[in-house]
Amino acid sequence: MKTTGIGRWLAGAALALSLGAAAPAFADDVLDRGIGSEWSSLDPQVNFDGAAGWILMDAYEGLVTYGPGGDVQPGAAESWDISEDGKTYTFHLREGLKWSNGDPIVAQDFVNSVARTLDPATVSEKGYYFYSVVQVKGAADIANGVTTDASALGVTAPDDRTVVIDMLTPAPHIMFIMGAFQIPPLHTPSLQANGAAGFVDPAKVVSNGAYVFREIVPQSHVLLEKNPNYWDAANVAIPFVKYYVTEDVTTELKRYQAGELDITYDIPVNQIEALKASIPEQVFISPATEVTYYSFDLTKPELQDINVRMALSLAIDREVLQEKIVKGGAIPSYSYAGGFDPTYDGPKMPYAELTQAEREAKAVELMTAAGFGPGNPLKLNIITTVAEDRTRLAQGVALMWKKVLGVEATVEPMERKAWLDAFYAGGWDVFADNLIGDFAGAETFLAYQRPSSDPGYNWVKPEYDAQMDVAATKPDAASRNIELAKAEKILLDDLIFAPIAIEPSRSLVSPHVKGWVASPTGYYNSQFLSLE
Amino acid sequence: MLRFILKRLWNGGLTLAALVTLTFFVMRLAPGGPFSKNRKISPDVQANIEAAFHLDEPVWKQFGRFVWGLLHLDLGPSTRFRDYSVGDIIASGLPYSLTIGFWAVVVASVVGVALGIAGALRRNGVTDYVAGIVGVIGIAIPIFVIGPILQVIFALKLGWLPVGGWDAGLRSLILPVLVLALPNIAYISRLTRTSMIETLRENYVRTARAKGIGWRRTLWKHTLKGALLPVVAYLGPATAAIITGSILIETVFALPGIGRHFVDAALNRDYPLVMGITLLYGGLLILFNIGTDVVRAWMDPRLRNAQ
């Protein structure tokens, strides 16, 4: 084809213009990720919030890591052995592991990390993983200041490539808390030279993950660059990852639409339907390890009658609640600890097998038998947080109770900190409760409900504690899950709360990001993603 | 004049002290604390954390500690952002807030005064009507509505400007500055217009004209100074309000300024950070008010003599 001089010039200009326009949006060796609120800390032994956990999972590597979909896979350790009683785990580090500054990584770096997390001087809440989620020998005594003797700790390094963890009780779920969020190694010389301030100075942080810190700007962003000293650097596809503070979820959506972000932290609830219609392949909504349940005040005389609690639970149409009222993508739930670990076959709440219409009929019957009716309605308050979807949920529940049972329920939304305080202060009949699990399994949720663990529920049930103790003796996940399911049955049958839903995690993921697989653990390490 | 300034500073200091004291104690009345969580950690560990931030001490003692720190220019550590002290956080966020605030004040003053003068000189002309419409829009539509609308137009539809963040240099500044300036352009142009019209009717202006001084010279030399007095009076507190009031702007445009911290700190019961920002905002507000008084006194001898 013959083109005139002017035609060529025009074509060239158009190409230049189109390139110029496209370049800023997809300058693409950078993965741009939204992160919600600002990280509370980048000190790996202090940080305790999930979103910042994303940054830490990229910058550090634990003994194990979470692969696509959240599977536990070898990290800094290439293999591990478990003792027959399930109390001792021995991890074998890969050969030739290096810190980002080239120093060799030794087993003692992992021991030092746990020791620093537990040391009261560090003022960390995270030691909880080692004395509560699993019971590492000596951890509680060190955290509680009973001893300052580091040699009392059940995490040891017999040689440079072996980390041994001794626990008081078997805990197969320990594998879930061996990732970088909980147990990254500690580069002690840096800490000694720079103190904790060194963790937020990109020039000074020494890390061992797939990425290293390049920029840290509070309230703005963290820029990470590929770590050439990472053992698997050859398989890390994306050269840079930038995490943006995206506090405002509508602004985050617009930044995504403008191409400023590749992955969002959340999706505005009122936009979900529209986005599902227009860009369905970019909307990722999957269950997170978070449950919502409505707890009953067991000290209130009316609610001491289990039939009343049963009726209240049965009158809630969980499907309508999520699909027609809240519409945030939560999954209606008829149990409490099930739905996270596919190998856990847990029980459902009583009458879960009935249809909703049958459940409502049963509810009316129970409520009438308890002496409540049109002339004598049950009066309740529901304490919830001010978050829009939570308030809407509570209003939906109140409406259903009114419609089915004639219950007069008032919704009292509270700011989050006041809501937390109100739980122990009392003054609530129904508490719109929610709990984020420490890992995608049943035990993290069930342990929380032990009357000995949280007295706030005023639930006294020695059988439950006894059954949880039985479960705690089982060293393997399969037989442990069987015992845990028995415990959950005791819990659900007593109806100290009405199960409501499993909360979702919601993200928009740009089509040019490859490798994004929904994960209940909520970790999406950038090293397993690529850009097209 | 010096006595006048010193007296204002002394009063300002007292106001600030009262504000800070009140904030300190009122904040502790709110339920919940910086470390309330719904997952129980070991009581000893909880106690250790609270002790590290002196939350275990009686409130009066904590106040004493705060005042002592203040005298040493130390605002203490943030309970929410564990890597930074309150001083670090303010030092890192304030430049962004000041930059946006400064340009918003400049834009609002220049555009507002120009529109106001134009409106006053050609009353009921085209400029006057346009200024009037801009004024009504600027005052009536809140930031959280106009901000997102401009984002949709200039970032999503036209692709000229970024939606938010601070990565695109000057281009990142345009929308936030514009949105922050808009209501102030409105106020300033209305103020200038009214005041200008009034001043033009003053006897001294007529005298100047009667003495044969040219129209332009009368305007610049005799009218403007008098006409701008109310604008200056407005500008002082407005500047403080623009700098401290950028909370919504910073949220909507995802800017790393100080404003976002204020609300967040209160919600998270980050007591030291709330105190630090209250002190900063209170101080700014008082200083700008004093500044305004000084400038007005300088511009209008009647005010100075009244003191």
Q: What is the mean pLDDT of residues A514-530?
A: 91
CB B249 within 8 A of CB B175: no
What's the pLDDT score for residue A472?
93
Span A99-132, pLDDT tens digits = 999 999 999 999 999 999 999 999 998 898 999 8
Helices and strands (H, E) in chain A, number of each type: 17, 18
Helix (H/G/I), strand (E/B), else coil: A397: helix
Q: What tokens appear for B190 in the block?
A: 């209305």
Q: Is B92 on the interface with A (CB under 8 A)?
A: yes
Confidence of residue A139 (pLDDT cuts 50, 70, 90): very high
Mean pLDDT of chain B: 86
Q: Is residue A7 pLDDT above 50, yes or no?
A: no
User: Is the domain of A222 the same as that of A340?
Assistant: no
Q: Is residue B300 pLDDT above 80, yes or no?
A: no
Q: What tokens appear for A166 in the block?
A: 């001794």
Confidence of residue A26 (pLDDT cuts 50, 70, 90): very low
* Nearest residue to A250 via CA among B253, B265, B31, B287: B253
User: Is the domain of A300 the same as that of A406?
Assistant: yes
Q: Is residue A27 pLDDT above 60, yes or no?
A: no
Most confident of A109-113, B162-166, B303-307: A109-113
Q: What tokens appear for A282 in the block?
A: 């970019």
- By Cβ distance, the residue of B52, B156, B268 closest to A258 is B156
Q: What is the DSSP string of A13-74?
A: HHHHHHHHHHHHHT-TTEEEEE-SSPPS---TTT---HHHHHHHHHH---SEEE-GGG-EEE
pTM: 0.89
Q: Please enumerate in sequence order all residues whose Cβ is within 8 A of that of A424, keeping only pairs 6 or more positions apart, or say none.
A: A456
At residue A254's C-alpha, the angle toward residues B151 and A38, to 5°, is 110
Q: Which residue has better confidence, B152 or B214?
A: B152
| Number of domains making up chain A | 2
User: Is the domain of A337 the same as that of A447?
Assistant: yes
- A267 within some domain: no
- By Cβ distance, the residue of A143, A218, A258 closest to B84 is A218
User: Is the domain of A202 the same as that of A301?
Assistant: no
Under an 8 A CB cutoff, do A218 and B166 touch?
no
Q: What is the DSSP string of B28-55?
A: HHSSS-TT--SSPPPHHHHHHHHHHTTT
Span A406-452, pLDDT tens digits = 999 999 999 888 888 888 888 899 999 999 998 889 999 999 988 77
User: Is the domain of A357 the same as that of A445?
Assistant: yes
* Nearest residue to A229 via CA among A56, A57, A43, A60: A60
User: Is the domain of A400 the same as that of A494?
Assistant: yes
User: Is the domain of A204 the same as that of A321?
Assistant: no
CA distance B134 to A49: 45
Q: Containing H/E element for B152?
A: none
The whole domain housing A36 covers 30-258+509-531
Helices and strands (H, E) in chain B, number of each type: 15, 0
Q: Is residue A15 pLDDT above 50, yes or no?
A: no
Q: Please enumerate in sequence order all residues whose Cβ is within 8 A of that of A262, keeping only pairs 6 or more positions apart, or say none.
A: A31, A32, A33, A256, A509, A510, A512, A513, A531
- Give A 207-246 residues with CB within 8 A of chain B: 217-221, 244-246
Span B63-121, pLDDT tens digits = 999 999 988 888 889 988 889 999 999 998 898 988 999 999 999 999 999 888 888 88
- By Cβ distance, the residue of A199, A251, A417 closest to B36 is A417
For chain A, the distance separating the N- and C-terminal CA atoms, rounded to the nearest angstrom, is 32
- A8 within some domain: no
User: Is the domain of A491 the same as that of A517?
Assistant: no
Q: What is the CATH number of the domain that holds A320?
A: 3.10.105.10
User: Is the domain of A243 the same as that of A307?
Assistant: no
Radius of gyration of chain B (CA): 24
Rounded to whole angstroms, the maximal C-alpha distance in chain A is 93
Q: Which residues of A touch B31 (CB under 8 A)?
A: 417-418, 421-422, 425
Q: Is A248 on the interface with B (CB under 8 A)?
A: yes
Q: Please enumerate in sequence order all residues whose Cβ is within 8 A of that of A463, keeping only pairs 6 or more positions apart, or say none.
A: A490
Q: What tokens appear for A473 in the block?
A: 């003796």
User: Is the domain of A369 the same as that of A515?
Assistant: no
User: Is the domain of A401 the same as that of A253?
Assistant: no
Q: What is the CATH number of the domain that holds A119?
A: 3.40.190.10
Q: Is residue B18 pLDDT above 50, yes or no?
A: yes
CA distance B223 to B116: 13
Under an 8 A CB cutoff, do A123 and B49 touch?
yes
- A268 within some domain: no
Instruction: Give the Cβ contact number of residue B278 at 10 Å.
Output: 20
For chain B, the distance separating the N- and C-terminal CA atoms, rounded to the nearest angstrom, is 9
User: Is the domain of A454 the same as that of A516?
Assistant: no
> Domain extents for chain B?
93-305
Mention the CATH class of domain B93-305.
Answer: mainly alpha
The identity of residue B229, as a single letter, is L
The identity of residue B288, as a single letter, is F
